[in-house]
Each structure stands twice: as structure tokens, then as C-alpha cells.
Amino acid sequence: MRRVRFFEYGGPEVLRVEEVEAPRPGPGELLIANEAIGVTLPTVRKVRDGGLPLPGALGGEVAGRVVAVGPEVAGFAVGDRVTALCFRDSYAEECVVAAAMATPVPDGASAVDAVALVRGGLVASGAHAAARPEPGESVLVTGAASGVGHLAVQLAKERGAARVVAAAGSAAKAEFLRSLGADEVVTYEDASWGEPVDIVLDAVGGELLAPAVAALAPGGRLVAYSSGGGTVSAYDLLVGGRTVTGFQMARIAATRPALMESWRRELWTLFAEGRLRPAVHVRLPLAEAAAAHEIIESRANLGKVVLIP
């Protein structure tokens, strides 16, 4: 089978396609024949900046069919359609995942739908919940056109936000963001991001963290779920009683699986009812993983970038 790895840190050019034997599932594991693979900014950043072991086995979200079931697995059978988080070698025609990280894909949804919806939707759901929203509050989403951000815009509106502001790197993304329900669109270079908001969901971090905090109204809450880092002045929080909270999906999965499952059910319900629309920017062959990383690095995507084995 084919898989994509990297053997030095760097840009998209370091990705290499290999021919290897298919893996075998161990205890508590499933072997999945991938039909869709999600490409995420955190993975792209780790390939360039470090943080993944070498030789580099790329992890991420996948969707496909179960082709083998390891010992000590209950609830799954060969032929089941699933989506899962794969921690090693997700960029491959087949991959091994922990059964605990896999969930069924309902009838009427494709593998691409699942990859575009589930992980990004769970992060968007969790980040929004971490902000403790009240009906009628205002929400600003940075990275609003990203795989997570475009779902966060829709979920904020769906959950009762009176005003949703979408922040993006380019005004060219405005039409797309307004089609998702954003009431206002701002770019990072704008002198003002408009009237202050009650909640900021920050997917970018880094140099944008400070202006994101500045966009908060008194008593406002920022939830940071980006791998971009950044620092916040304690004085900026003190003035106006603002707060910053970090959100990590892995912690919820480990400590509150029932809550994560309730978010997943909500996502599929909203999808089935046509009230949540995962957007796919492009589908590329597995061998073109480098091109997928280039799109993510350039911030050109409107929605999810997906690899098709």
C-alpha cells in the first residue's frame, strides 16, 4: 500500500510517498481502508516546525471501511463505515486506529462528509461550550474559513448568537463566510474589528491573540484552541474583567467521553437536517499531499482540504 511520511522537518517538499506492507490491527484496534483523510493546520505546522517524531508518521482524521478487527474489540465488524482519529500514519491507503477513537458514519453521509464534519465540528462545539455562551450574545471567530472555523461560525448562529463576526486573512473570503451565516466579516489587517464581542473563538493565536483579546467587551471570554501559541498581558485581562480559556479536544475525549458523544450526535443531526454544512475546499489524491499542505500553509482554503487514497 501507499503512505506518506516525512524524514526531515520543513515545508510541503519534505513529504514522501512510500510503498509498504499494510499494517495489522492489535488488541483494541481496527484496520481501516481509508476513503478520505483530513489535512489540518496543526499537522502542517508540526511538519515544518517540529513536534512530530522522525521518521515522521502523520496523524489526523480519517474515514473509510473496517477491513480487519483486532482482538478485544466489541461493537465493530468488517465492512462497517467509520470515521476515526488516527495517531500514526493517517496519510495512507490503510491505517490502524484505536477502536475507542472510531465512530460509525450514518447512512446518507459520505466519507468526505465525515472527515469534514466530525473532528472540526467537535472542536468547534467544544470551544463554543467552553465560552459558556448565553442566548443573544455576540461571537467572533478567527480562522473563520478554516476546517474548524467555518463550522464554528455556523454553530454559533445555530446556538443563538445574535451577532456572529467572521475574521479571516483576506476580504476575498467574505462571500463564503456570509453564506455560512456570518453577520459581519473583518480581516486581520483592519484597523477595527467592529463593535466589541462577548466571545472570541480563536483558531489562530500567535500575533493575532492580542487583537483578539482587544476585541472582547467587558466581561468577555476568549477560548483559545489554536496550536499557534501567543501571549496575553494580565493587565489586558484585568481591565474589563476579560478571561482566556484554553480548549483541547483530547482532554474532553479522555475525561468526558459522554459529553463528546453528545456533541457528535448533535453534529450529525444538524447535518441530516441541512442546518450544518461542512464545506470541502478541494479533494486531492494521496500522492498530492504536498499540494494539500501548500494550500493550508497559504491559508487559501475555504473549508476542509481532503486527501483521497
Q: Give the whole-angstrom CA distance, residue 57 versus residue 6.
A: 7
Q: Give the whole-angstrom CA distance, residue 112 versus residue 115.
A: 5
For residue 133, cis peptide bond before it (omega within 30 degrees of 0)? no
H helix or E strand, kind and range, residue 246: strand 243-246
Q: Mark 12-33 as b/e (b = at least 16 C-beta within 10 Å).
A: bebbeeeeeeebebeeebbbbb
Those residues whose C-beta lies under 8 Å from the C-beta of residue 276, and which sit 6 or more positions away, are 117, 121, 151, 154, 155, 158, 267, 270
Sign of CA pseudo-dihedral 30, 36, 40, 46: positive
Q: Give the whole-angstrom CA distance, residue 302 versus residue 128.
A: 20
* Helix ranges (DSSP H) in the chain: 41-49, 111-130, 149-158, 174-179, 209-214, 234-238, 249-255, 257-272, 289-297
Q: What is the pLDDT along the chain (309 residues), one digit of tens a residue?
A: 999 999 989 999 999 999 999 999 999 999 999 999 999 988 898 898 876 666 678 989 999 999 999 999 999 999 999 999 998 899 999 999 999 889 999 999 999 999 999 999 999 999 999 999 999 999 999 999 999 999 999 999 999 999 999 999 999 999 999 999 999 999 999 989 999 999 999 999 889 999 999 999 999 999 999 877 788 888 888 888 999 999 988 888 888 989 999 999 999 999 999 999 999 999 999 999 999 999 999 999 999 999 999
pLDDT tens-digit map of 189-240: 998 999 999 999 999 988 999 999 999 999 999 999 987 778 888 888 888 8
Residue 1 CA: distances (Å) to CA of 68, 180, 260, 304, 309: 15, 38, 33, 25, 10
pTM of the model: 0.93
Q: Mark 221-260 as b/e (b = at least 16 C-beta within 10 Å).
A: bbbbbbbbebeeeeeeeeeeebebeebebeebbeeeeeeb
Q: Are 208 and 193 in contact (CB under 8 A)?
A: no
Count how many residues are written for the chain. 309
Structure-block grid coordinates of residue 268:
450529525
